């Protein structure tokens, strides 16, 4: 089994695991971890595309994509964690809040 194929298969596996976690888990932090897992799987698939052709130099494009993707995933994780923290604070602080539904 060649390296690119291995990477791709592992990537697919991680995507499935991550998707499962994202769907099934209810706690926001667990969901965030699962999303990151899914992202990592996608990046592995992209990385495997860099060596897909048996050429001398690896293809730089997937590397660029993965780098961009990592940055985006980091930003998403930050937003998710901040929201989760805010939500936890809201349910501890004001138990009767939530009346403004307009």
Partner 1 sequence: MAEPGAFAPQLLGLAIVVPLAAGAVSFALGRARAMAAALLGAAAAVALAAAVAWSVATGGAVALDIGSWVPPLGIRLAADGLSALFLVLAAIVGAAVSVDAALASRPGADVADRWLFWPLWLFLWSAVNGLFLTADVFNAYVCLELIGFSAVALVASKGSKAALDAALSYLFASVLGAMTYLVGVGLVYLASGTLALDALDSAVHGSASARIGLGLMLAGLVLKTALFPAHFWLPTAHSSAPPQVSAALSGVVVKSSYLLAVRLLVAATGAGSGPGLRLTLAALGAVAIVWGSAMALASQRLKLMIAYSTVAQVGYLFVMLPLLEERAATVGLAIALHALSHGMAKAAMFLAAGDIADAAGTDRFDALAGVGRERPVAALSLGLAGVTMLGLPPSGSFAAKWLVVQSSLASGQWWIAAVVVGGGLLAALYVFRALASLLAKPDRSEARTPKPRTAWAALPLAAVSATLLLAGPAISRLMAATSLAGR
Partner 2 sequence: MSSVNFTPLLFLGFALGDTTTRTFAATAAAVWILAGVYAFASEAPGKRLRLAAFYLPAAAGGIACMLAANALSFYAAYTLAALSSAGLVAWNGNERARKAARIYLALTVVSEALLLAVLMIAAGRSWSWALPGLREEWARAPEAGLVMWLLTASLMIKCGSTIFAGILPLQYENAPAGAAAALAGASAKIGLLAMLWLLPLGVPGFESWGAAYVAIGLSSAFLGVALGLLARSPRAMLGYSSASQMGLAFVAVGAALIAPRTAGIPALAAVVAFTVHHALAKSALVLGSDASGAGRSAIGRALDAVLLALPAAALVGAPLTSGFVAKLALKSALASAGPSPIVEAATSLLPISSVATGLLMIRFLLAVRRSAPAQQTPPLLGRAAWYALTGLSAAAALAGPWSFSSYAREHLLDPHAVWSATWPALAAVALTAAARVARLSAPGMETGDLLTYGHDAGLRAIAWLAGRVAKRTRPTAETRSHRALVLDEERLFPTAVAMGVFVALAVLLAVLLARAG
- C-beta of residue 77 within 8 angstroms of C-beta of residue 38: no
By CB under 8 A, is residue 80 in contact with partner 2?
no
CA distance 58 to 48: 10
Among 13, 59, 67, 70, binds partner 1 (CB under 8 A): 59
Residues between 32 and 71 that touch partner 2 (CB under 8 A): none
Q: Shortest distance, CB of residue 54 to partner 1, whole angstroms? A: 14
Q: Give the nearest distance from C-beta 99 to partner 2 in angstroms.
A: 7
86 binds partner 1 (CB under 8 A): yes
Cβ proximity to partner 2: between 56 and 97 the closer is 97
Minimum separation from the CB atom of position 79 to partner 2 (A): 19
Interacting residue ranges for partner 2, rule: CB under 8 A: 19, 22-24, 26, 98-99, 101
């Amino acid at each position: 089994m060649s390296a690119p194929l291995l990477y791709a298969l592992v990537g697919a596996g991680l995507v499935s695991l991550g998707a499962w976690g994202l769907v099934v888990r209810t706690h926001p932090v667990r969901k965030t971890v699962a999303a990151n897992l899914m992202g990592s799987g996608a990046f592995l698939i992209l990385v495997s595309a860099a060596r897909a052709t048996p050429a001398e130099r690896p293809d730089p494009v997937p590397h660029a994509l993965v780098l961009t993707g990592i940055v985006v995933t980091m930003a998403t994780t930050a937003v998710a964690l901040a929201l989760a923290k805010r939500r936890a604070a809201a349910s501890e602080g004001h138990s009767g809040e939530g009346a403004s539904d307009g």
